[in-house]
A and B are shown apart, each in its own frame.
Chain A
Amino acid sequence: MKAIAATVLLLAGATSVVAEVSDEQKVLNTINNVGYYADHGDWDRVAAQFHPDGAVLDYTSYANASAGTSAELPTLLPAEIVGAWQTILPGYDRTHHLMGTESVIIDGDRATTTSNVYATHILENDGEDTWVFIGDYQHELVKTETGWKITFMRANLRAQLGNPELPTLAMERVKTENR
């Protein structure tokens, strides 16, 4: 009996050494997966980071920096979110969402995060081939049976570098290739 008890204790001890992924890390995994998988064109995995009932995306600071957040932004399903991104992102030769430092606060089944981003977009053309989006994100997430999923995502543009025409060129390229 003593030997069995010792074995059980050893196993219990060993279990505590296993690296448990904390909820904080799981939340950050979700928000970092969005840019990571979008850069690789893995749209199913991008969609899987958003709540199946939908999420609100707020790009109002990019469209018009003084506009603030509209209270009437629509809730989009994951398929609609990646559908919208696929009208532009595949038009670049490459994108590189290098996230910076991040904060995460968990309150029960809800989480809020902030993060910096330095996103480099490359598209060879007659002009400069690089456009960089510098800014920050705010995300809200909810814990579901299949993990932490995004319900709100706000991108705040602080500065852009390089060729500001690149997004337009990328969108035109997607349209041309879909014809």
Chain B
Amino acid sequence: MNWTIVTVFVVLFGTVTILGFAAARWRPGDMDLLHEWGLGGRRFGTIVTWFLLGGDLYTAYTFVAVPALVFGAGAIGFFAVPYTIIVYPFVFMVFPRFWSVAHKHGYMTAADFVRGRYGNRWLALAVAITGLVATMPYIALQLVGLQVVIGAMGVGGQGLWGDLPLIIAFLILAAFTYTSGLRAPAAIAVVKDVLIYATILAVVIVIPSELGGYGKIFAAVAPAKLILAAPTAASLGAYGGYATLALGSALALFLYPHAMTGVLSANSRHVIRRNAAMLPAYSIVLGLLALMGYMALAAGVAKNPLYADGFKQFGSTFAVPALLMASFPDWFTGVAFAAIGIGALVPAAVMSIACANLFTRNIYKEMIRPDCSDADESRMAKIVSLIVKIGALVFIILLPLQYAIQLQLLGGIWIIQTLPAVIFGLYTRWFDPRALLAGWAAGIATGSWMAGTLAFKASVFPLSVFGYTVPGYAALYSLIVNIAVATVMSLILNAAGGERRDETVAADYR
């Protein structure tokens, strides 16, 4: 066990813990009100939102998984970059409308909006359940990021005793999320993001100079993986996968409840628009992070006997911790590991709060106890947030990692199916809610089936079109099926005199 790294890590982690509890008194509000606990009172300005969304969207799992993919698969792993390039124009154009209508009507979740826009509780329930089910494996995966750095520090061992640090970290997280709600991850995100930027700055300067320059780094990559494989006469090949992974992931990202929560906690629609221009700073970090996968190849960490145990236990997700340990003095490695570890806390907190908001507003209050008081609502949410986190912890400790990864893969395919109801709904009421529900079901079925044929190990489905194979992200293909079904059924239902309940008006969106 490396004491220097552990000490630095624990000090930073301890700082963040104190911050998490103290956050309850930041811009104080009545935590017995759900929007205070669950949306920080909708008071966050541009800078806080930038830290919160950045910390929320760029997760610990992102930091280990993206480089791991590039380390193993090469160029196709870089799809995370075009994905972030597509996301922000989309957010800029679409999400101010969502903020405005949510602010006008007090909506706290996407399902609240769908309920108000379409007046159909089943469509709203479908959106709520999709959000919940898609987010839960994602929380579990944050723990994986934390687990990898804890393992890299040599703390703990096998079995439940080995998982003790993880359990402690998570219990701390659960405690300050309970007391401070969204203010906790917002405050902690500042520390996390500062540490991340510091780490990446050091990485892009120090490591290439240690390895002999970027030319040497890329020279270590197998030529076949350096760029994408060109299409052949029989198949569009990697081009199809790369483009559809980027586009599909971009469309899905802000449909996730934790991204919506970040958006809704802002104090004006202009905060969203400004952040769409400012958040790309994190995308540059992500791009450089992806290149760390190649740096790990060039540094030969996989062949280094020091890291053999780590690679055996964690696979290619160990590439980044190994690279950091090999390239930096121990104290800085502690900082970098803390960045990743804390980087698990922020999204895990926001995701659990988002799940709590969804369950409380759109399942508990909507279906079980419509007459519950504000205090009941808030208390239910706090409890749900706790349960969701404990569930994720149990999942990661007891079940093989593969299950969490597979569920997350499916989650990405499912969450995109809420796009027609939510995103189209921001612009038009033309679609019939029953048709949207049918489209949602068709999309979920198609997408899940496609993933099933790939044994849930990959998400790029080789669609055969007149004998030519067009590999594409299953989420995107199933979304097309979803939209097609919703459109056809809407045409029919509208002709038969469709329902037109809608509590919003056009001006609400501006």
- Do the two chains belong together in a single complex? no
A interface residue numbers (CB < 8 A to B)? none
B interface residue numbers (CB < 8 A to A)? none
